Structure 1
Amino acid sequence: MPKMKTKSAVKKRFSVTGTGKIKANVAYKRHGLSKRPQQMKRQARGSFVLCDADAIIVKKFMPYA
């Protein structure tokens, strides 16, 4: 059986933690930040863990994760 392919877009945007959860970056941080509230910019720092429903979808595109 041939090797399954990993989606390149998923490979670039998500990573897997040691416990198997999916980690992602927060959106809306690239430009136009002067009009965003300071609280939103603070909360958008770093990364977050996807909920289980979204993680199932992402894991389908990462067969070897």
Structure 2
Amino acid sequence: MPKLKTKRAAAKRFHATGTGKLKRFKAYKSHILTKKTTKRKRNLRKGTITDPTNAKVMKKVLPYL
């Protein structure tokens, strides 16, 4: 069986936690920030765990993560 290629775009966006879950950062934090509240921008800074329905697909895309 040949080696599997990792999708580099996904590898840059997702990181595995110690328990094997995928951690990601939130979207909507790059521009048009003036109309967003301080609370909303602060919460967008935090990382979060990828939803299990999406994590299943991401595990295929990231075979060695």
TM superposition shift of 1:16? 0.5
TM superposition score normalised by structure 2: 0.91
Q: Which runs of 5+ in 1 are unaligned?
A: none
The correspondence of residues 48-63 of structure 1 with structure 2, limited to 5 A, is 48-63=48-63
How high is the sequence identity, in percent, across the aligned residues? 46
After the TM superposition, list the runs of 4 or more consecutive aligned residues in structure 1 that deviate by more than 2 angstroms. none
Number of residue pairs matched?
A: 65
Q: Which runs of 5+ in 2 are unaligned?
A: none
TM superposition score normalised by structure 1: 0.91
Distance 1:57 1:33 in 2: 31
Residue identity in the other structure for 2:51:
C
**Residue 14 of structure 2 corresponds to residue 14 of structure 1:** yes
Distance 1:10 1:45 in 2: 19
CA root-mean-square deviation:
0.9
